[in-house]
Structure formats: C-alpha cells, structure tokens
Amino acid sequence: MPREPFSPDWGKGLTLLALLWGIMIGAAGQEWRAMADQWWNISTYTHVLLIPLILGWQVWHRWSEAKQLRPACWWPGLILLLLAALVWVAGRLANLAELAQFGAVGMLVAAVPLMLGTRVTAAFLFPLAYMVFLVPFGDEIIPPLQTITARLCIWLVVMTHVPAHIDGVFIATPAGLFEVAEACSGVKFLVAMLAFGALAANVCFRSWKRRIAFMALCVVVPVLANGVRAWGTIYVAQIKGAAYAGGVDHIIYGWFFFAAVIAAILAIGWPFFDRKVRDPMIDGAAIARSPVLARLDGWRCARGLAGGGAFAIVLACLVWSTAAARLEAPMPPRIEVPQVPGWHRVGTPLMVDWTPRAAGADHRIQLRYADDKGRIVDMFYALYAAQGPGRKATGFGEGALPPGSSWQWQGPGAGALAAQGDRLLAHGHIARLAQTTWHTGDTSTGSSVTLRLANLQDRLMLRRVPTMMLILSVEEEAAVAQQPGGDPAIDTLHDFRRAIGPVGSFMDHIALGTSDDDDDDGGN
C-alpha cells in the first residue's frame, strides 16, 4: 500500500499543541515546579530526569510511520481535557500533590487527541502513557515496604542461625538493633524498576501476556532482593560490626546491587523477547486502515473550537482553584487550654523529647495530664485556618513522628474510634503509643484520605472551615508495652478519651474558647 505524502496539517497541529502545552504548564506551574524539585533534589526520583529523553526517543522511533497519518482536531478531546483538569483542581483543593500532578500531566496527554486526532494518538499511545512516570509517586507504599522487608529479613536472619528478635521494623541481634528505615524500604529501587520495566516490556515484547509477566517480575524481584540486601547488612554486622556493615551496604546497594538485579531480570526475560530489533514500533498503515479509529475520527472539529475550548477549560479551572485556595477560616487570637474531668495538668518531664510537627498551624498547644493513679497522657493540638502548601495536617513528616528526632516509626499501633494509631520507639527502649484524630466541620477521622475529601468538599463549595489535629499519646518503657498482660497505654488512652467525651466537640471547644494562661503551656 503506497504511503500518503506528509500532511501539511502537521505543522499547524504541532504549533497549536505546543502553544496549548505552554499554557497548561504555565497554569499548573505550581505542580511542575514541585515535580522538578523532587526530580533534582530527592534521590528516589532522580531517575525521572531521564524520562523526557526516553519520551523523545520513543517519539523518534514512531515518527517515520506516524508522519504518514493526517492529524485533525477531535472535539471529544475537550471532555478528556476537562476530566484531567478536574483531577488537577481536586488535587490542589484536597492538598493531594500527587493527584494534582497527575492531573497536570493528564492535561498534556489529553491535548494530543484534541489537537492531533485519534490516529496520531494511537501512533504515540505508549509515549503518552509513559508520561505518567513524570509524576514522583511511591511515598504511600513506604510503610508496607518497610514491613515486608523486615519480615523477609528476619526470616533470612533466622535461617542463617543468627539469634534475632523482630518488633515492628526493628530487628535486634547480638551485633545491635537494626531498623528497616524509610530509606531501607526499597521504594527507590521499586519505583525506578517500574519505569524501567514498562519501557523494556514495550520495546522487547509484542505479547501482552509476556509484558504483564515481565512487569510482575519487575515488582516481585526488587522487593525480594531488598530483603536479601537488608539481611546481608545484618549478617555482615555480626562478623565485622554494624558501622562496617552500614558503609558496605550503601556502596554495594548504590553501585552494584541495583545493576545486578536489573541484569538478572533482563537475563530471565531475554529468552522470551518476541520483538525483533528491526521491527517498527508501530504499523502506520494498520492505524490508517483501522475501522474503529475511522469511526472515532469522524468527530472532528475546527481548530478554533478545539483551541478556544481548551483555553476556556484551563482558565476556568485555574480561577476556581486559585479562589478556593485563598479561603481561610477566621482564627481566634488564642485557643483554650482544655479542662479534662478526672485529670489535671502536670509538668512532669518527658523521658525523651517529643514535639509533634504541625507546620503552618495558626495555633498549637502541647500539655501533659495525669490522673489520681499517676497515669500520664500527652496531648498535642493544632488549629489551621486552611490547608495548603506548607500547612498540611496530613502532609509528609507532619503529626506524631517529628522528622529528625530520636523517635522512629515502629509500626501501626492500637487506634480508637476516629483515631489513627502509631507505635514509636526511641533509643531502643522508650516506647510511645500515639493516636491521631483530624477534625473539620462535622468530620472527625483517623484517615488522612477522609480528611482530605472533607477539605475538598469545603473548598469546592467555597466554605471557610478550619482544620484541627489532636494527638493523644502515652510514653513508657518498651518492656512495659510488651508485657504479656497487654499494653497499659491502650487502657490509659481509652480512659482519657472517655473523660473528654466526643472528640469532635472537644476539639471544637478548644478552638472556640480563650484562656489567659495558655501561653504558659506552650499555646499560641
């Protein structure tokens, strides 16, 4: 079949697409700046700096076939653009940076079928889908990866006859106490392998079954390998000492281990590669003949309608999100130091300093309460006029586990109604059970997702509603927390919660009242 000559519509289409992309990137500049900062400054995402080069390489490999197609504006692309723009706005208003970033990238993707049509989109479908890896994601899976790595590691440690005990993400051995920290979770390795696996699956395979199997391999092998790496560190520490093992671990994991696992995955997949080196990445003639694409291509529209409609959608969403982001609830000059029946405030010093983080909060207080039995509860409360960049109650590093402190996350702890539980450990022997509740409007929850959805609803309706965070916690010796009769901290917090009554009303009462002496207790 003779190929059609190069269409002059390409020049106009690509020019309008580039103009529209520039407008979209400018409108979502907040998201693109945040992504670029993560690519450059956070080691987990430095591999993303290669994604634009990979995208260009993928487009170049398809261009000889795709340039024979005839681009045309496709009005249903406006619907796709509207959906992506709504995701962008929802992410902004719910303070979900990743969701807003997915929306920002999605708008660029939706602009391609809008300005160039369905056949061109089909030709570049993989590069468009691969743009999802521009978004830095993976922080959400760090805790489960820590747990998985710790369990794999303790199994291997026991199998190699090293005496060990596991408590959450901490593994105690004769050579010392080892923590499967966030940096040891393997998320950096896994995220990079997902991007590599998706590229290799597209380039090396034609069969979808083989592609799926290869992607599964790219998920399972890095997780297992990270468990082996953690075990190797602990095993070397038994012979050479913890300091020596830590240094070797970083060198081997950073330079050799990652490369060895990639080589192993490619070696396993090599016999099953079913795309020949000289095979084209797409079949332009088949795309041109496709009856499905022919029917879809019938919904064409003028360039003015496509460009004007796209500009109107982006502008309306930008104005809406900007107006909602500026909303702030009125704040009292001071907040009330609450009285709790059966409990009184005390100044007993902490065994290990613990100050939860509430960046951007307009008011915060931290107090200690004791009852007649001598039981002590720490209470931290923060009040926010609004949620946004730099002031997210559920943001990374916010709440009960202050970054850079002596405390480490040990695992999920006993929660309560509308409260998230976390177990913390300091210096290997001081434990802390913390229960966190977030509150806004009529919603009291221990779920960060529920809070963000409630914040989103308020922002969408342009309502000025404050957000609050309450952390109730008990500090104790780790040996006490692990005693056979159960953790006394759970009963202490249960009794304190029963004394304060409905947690939402308690938090609202703090925000509404004033007190002359709250500065004496850390209030502001």
Say if CB 523 and CB 334 are below 8 A apart: yes
Share of the chain above pLDDT 90, in %: 52
Largest CA distance in the chain: 92
Give residue-wise pLDDT tens across range 372-396.
999 999 999 999 999 888 888 998 8
Q: CA 164, CA 185: separation in Å to the nearest integer?
A: 19
Give residue-wise pLDDT tens across range 87-124.
999 988 888 889 999 999 999 999 999 999 999 999 99
- Report the pLDDT value the prediction gives residue 474, as an integer from 0 to 100: 95
Say if CB 108 and CB 55 are below 8 A apart: no
- Report the pLDDT value the prediction gives residue 5, as an integer from 0 to 100: 53
Q: CA 245, CA 171: separation in Å to the nearest integer?
A: 15
Q: CA 299, CA 306: separation in Å to the nearest integer?
A: 12
Q: Residue 175 is which amino acid?
A: A
Q: Residue 224 is which amino acid?
A: L
Q: CA 391, CA 35: separation in Å to the nearest integer?
A: 18
- Report the pLDDT value the prediction gives residue 252, as an integer from 0 to 100: 58
**Crossing angle of helices 77-93 and 97-116, rounded to 10°:** 170
Per-residue pLDDT of the chain (524 residues; tens, 9 = 90+): 445 555 677 888 899 999 999 999 999 999 999 999 999 998 888 889 999 999 999 999 999 888 888 899 999 999 999 999 999 999 888 888 899 999 999 999 999 999 999 999 999 999 999 999 999 988 878 888 888 988 998 899 888 888 888 877 888 888 778 878 777 778 888 999 999 999 999 999 999 999 999 999 999 999 998 888 888 888 877 876 665 555 555 555 555 777 888 899 999 999 999 888 788 888 888 888 888 888 888 898 898 999 999 999 999 999 988 888 888 899 988 888 888 999 999 998 999 999 999 999 999 999 999 999 999 999 999 999 998 888 889 988 899 998 888 998 888 888 788 899 999 999 888 999 999 999 999 999 999 989 988 988 888 888 889 999 999 999 998 777 666 667 899 999 999 999 999 999 999 999 886 443 433 344 45
Q: Residue 382 is which amino acid?
A: A
Q: Is 484 exposed, middle or buried (0-12, 13-18, 19+ CB in 10 A)?
A: exposed
- Report the pLDDT value the prediction gives residue 494, as an integer from 0 to 100: 95
Task: Give me the long-range contacts of 49-58 (CB less than 8 A, separation at least 24).
Answer: 51/130, 51/131, 51/133, 51/134, 51/195, 52/134, 54/130, 54/199, 55/127, 55/130, 55/131, 58/124, 58/126, 58/127, 58/130, 58/281
Mean per-residue pLDDT over the chain, rounded: 87
- Report the pLDDT value the prediction gives residue 364, as an integer from 0 to 100: 93
Q: How many residues comprise the chain?
A: 524
Instruction: For residue 376, report the phi and psi dihedrals to the nearest 5 degrees.
Output: -125, 135
Collapsed DSSP state (helix, strand, coil) of residue 8: coil
- Report the pLDDT value the prediction gives residue 232, as an integer from 0 to 100: 83
Q: CA 86, CA 83: separation in Å to the nearest integer?
A: 5
- Report the pLDDT value the prediction gives residue 249, as an integer from 0 to 100: 55
Q: Is 418 left (phi over 0), alpha (psi -120 to 50) or beta?
A: left
- Report the pLDDT value the prediction gives residue 338, as an integer from 0 to 100: 84
Q: CA 305, CA 340: separation in Å to the nearest integer?
A: 63
208 CA to centre of own chain: 28
- Report the pLDDT value the prediction gives residue 283, as an integer from 0 to 100: 84
392 CA to centre of own chain: 14
- Report the pLDDT value the prediction gives residue 44, as an integer from 0 to 100: 83
